[in-house]
Amino acid sequence: MKEQSTTRGFAILSAASMLVKVLSLLYIPLLRMIIGDEGYGIYGASYQVYVFIFVLTNSGIPVAISKLVSELAAVRNYKDAVKSFKIARSVLCIIGILMTVILLIFAGPFASIVHYKQAYLSLLTLAPAILFTSVASAYRGYFQGRGNMTPTAVSQVIEQVANTAFSLLFAALLIKYGVEAGCAGGAIGTSIGALISAAFLMFYYERNKKFRVPKEYANEDVRRYNTKQLMRKIIKYGLPITVCVGMTYAGSLVDLSNTKIRLIAGGVNETQANILYGFLTKYQQLLNVPISIISSLSMAILPAISAAVAIKDKSQVKNKINYSFRLCFLIAVPCAVGLAVISDPVYQTLKLGGGAYIMAYGSIVLILMSVMQIQTTILQSIGRLYIATLYSVLGIAFKVITNYFLIAIPKINILGAVVGSIVGFLVPIILNHRIIRKSLGIKLSILVHAIKPLFSSTIMGGSVFAVYYVLGVLLKLSKRGYLINSSITLVAIAVGMLVYMFGLVITRGITKEDLNSMPRKIVRLIPNFILQRVR
- Answer yes or no: is 117 within a domain: yes
Mean pLDDT on 222-237: 80
Phi-psi category of residue 57: left, alpha or beta, with phi > 0 → left and psi -120 to 50 → alpha? alpha
Q: Are residues 463 and 437 in the same domain?
A: no
Q: pLDDT tens for residues 289-341? A: 787 777 666 666 666 676 666 666 677 777 778 878 888 888 899 999 999 99
- Answer yes or no: is 24 within a domain: yes
Q: What is the rounded CA–CA span in Å between residue 174 and residue 181?
A: 6
Hey, how many other C-beta atoms are within 10 angstroms of the C-beta on 201? 24
Q: According to the model, what pLDDT value does residue 430 have?
A: 92
Q: According to the model, what pLDDT value does residue 521 have?
A: 57
Q: What is the rounded CA–CA span in Å between residue 495 and residue 460?
A: 8
Confidence class for position 515, pLDDT limits 50, 70, 90: low
- Answer yes or no: is 123 within a domain: yes
Domain limits at 34? 6-208+227-449
DSSP characters over 56-87: HHHSSHHHHHHHHHHHHHHTT-HHHHHHHHHH
Hey, how many other C-beta atoms are within 10 angstroms of the C-beta on 534? 16
Q: How many residues does the chain have?
A: 535
Comparing 32-36, 59-63, 249-253, 388-392, the range with the smallest average pLDDT is: 249-253
Comparing 82-96, 143-157, 430-444, 504-518, the range with the smallest average pLDDT is: 504-518
Q: According to the model, what pLDDT value does residue 514 have?
A: 63
Q: Is 383 helix (H, G, I), strand (E, B) or coil?
A: coil
- Mean pLDDT, all residues of the chain: 81
Phi-psi category of residue 434: left, alpha or beta, with phi > 0 → left and psi -120 to 50 → alpha? alpha
Q: Is 527 exposed, middle or buried (0-12, 13-18, 19+ CB in 10 A)?
A: exposed
Q: According to the model, what pLDDT value does residue 13 have?
A: 61
Q: Are residues 17 and 84 in the same domain?
A: yes
Q: Are residues 152 and 137 in the same domain?
A: yes
Q: According to the model, what pLDDT value does residue 211 have?
A: 58
> Which residue among 396, 428, 449 closes a domain?
449
Q: pLDDT tens for residues 137-191? A: 888 888 877 777 788 888 888 888 898 899 899 999 998 888 889 989 888 988 9
Greater pLDDT, 419 or 16: 419
The DSSP secondary-structure symbol of 212 reads -
- Answer yes or no: is 407 within a domain: yes
Q: According to the model, what pLDDT value does residue 104 have?
A: 93
Q: Are residues 444 and 494 in the same domain?
A: no
Confidence class for position 261, pLDDT limits 50, 70, 90: confident
- Answer yes or no: is 219 within a domain: no
Phi, psi of 408 (to 5 degrees): -75, -10
Confidence class for position 8, pLDDT limits 50, 70, 90: low
Q: Are residues 241 and 367 in the same domain?
A: yes
Q: pLDDT tens for residues 417-447? A: 999 999 999 999 999 988 888 877 777 788 8
- Answer yes or no: is 256 within a domain: yes
Mean pLDDT on 259-283: 86
Q: Are residues 323 and 470 in the same domain?
A: no
Q: According to the model, what pLDDT value does residue 363 have?
A: 92
> Which residue among 449, 479, 504 closes a domain?
449
Q: What is the rounded CA–CA span in Å between residue 498 and residue 508?
A: 15
Given a cut of 80, whether residue 26 has pLDDT beyond it is no
- Answer yes or no: is 222 within a domain: no
DSSP characters over 293-312: HHHHHHHHHHHHHHHHHHTT
Q: What is the rounded CA–CA span in Å between residue 460 and residue 341?
A: 10
Q: pLDDT tens for residues 437-496? A: 887 777 778 888 889 999 999 999 999 999 988 887 777 655 567 778 888 888 999 899
Q: Are residues 408 and 524 in the same domain?
A: no
Q: Is 4 helix (H, G, I), strand (E, B) or coil?
A: coil
Hey, how many other C-beta atoms are within 10 angstroms of the C-beta on 232? 12
Q: According to the model, what pLDDT value does residue 232 have?
A: 85
Q: Are 269 and 111 in contact (CB under 8 A)?
A: no
Q: Are 125 and 187 in contact (CB under 8 A)?
A: yes
What's the Rg (C-alpha) of the chain? 23
The domain total for the chain is 2
Q: Are 152 and 185 in contact (CB under 8 A)?
A: no
Q: Which residue in 456, 435, 427, 513 sits closest to 329, CA to CA?
A: 456
Given a cut of 60, whether residue 10 has pLDDT beyond it is no
Q: Are residues 476 and 428 in the same domain?
A: no
Q: Are residues 465 and 515 in the same domain?
A: yes
Hey, how many other C-beta atoms are within 10 angstroms of the C-beta on 94? 11
Q: Are residues 21 and 112 in the same domain?
A: yes
> Which residue among 449, 470, 488 closes a domain?
449
Given a cut of 60, whether residue 4 has pLDDT beyond it is no
Given a cut of 60, whether residue 207 has pLDDT beyond it is yes
**What proportion of the chain, given as a percentage, has pLDDT over 90?**
19
Q: According to the model, what pLDDT value does residue 14 have?
A: 63
Q: pLDDT tens for residues 118-137? A: 889 999 999 999 999 999 98
Q: What is the rounded CA–CA span in Å between residue 402 and residue 259?
A: 11
Q: Are residues 437 and 456 in the same domain?
A: no
Given a cut of 60, whether residue 88 has pLDDT beyond it is yes
> Which residues are within 8 A (CB) of 219 and not within 5 positions of it... i.e. 6 or more apart?
none
Q: Are residues 437 and 507 in the same domain?
A: no
Mean pLDDT on 212-227: 63
Planar angle of CA 433, 308, 2, nearest 5 degrees? 125
- Answer yes or no: is 362 within a domain: yes
Q: What is the rounded CA–CA span in Å between residue 60 and residue 506?
A: 42
Q: According to the model, what pLDDT value does residue 213 have?
A: 56
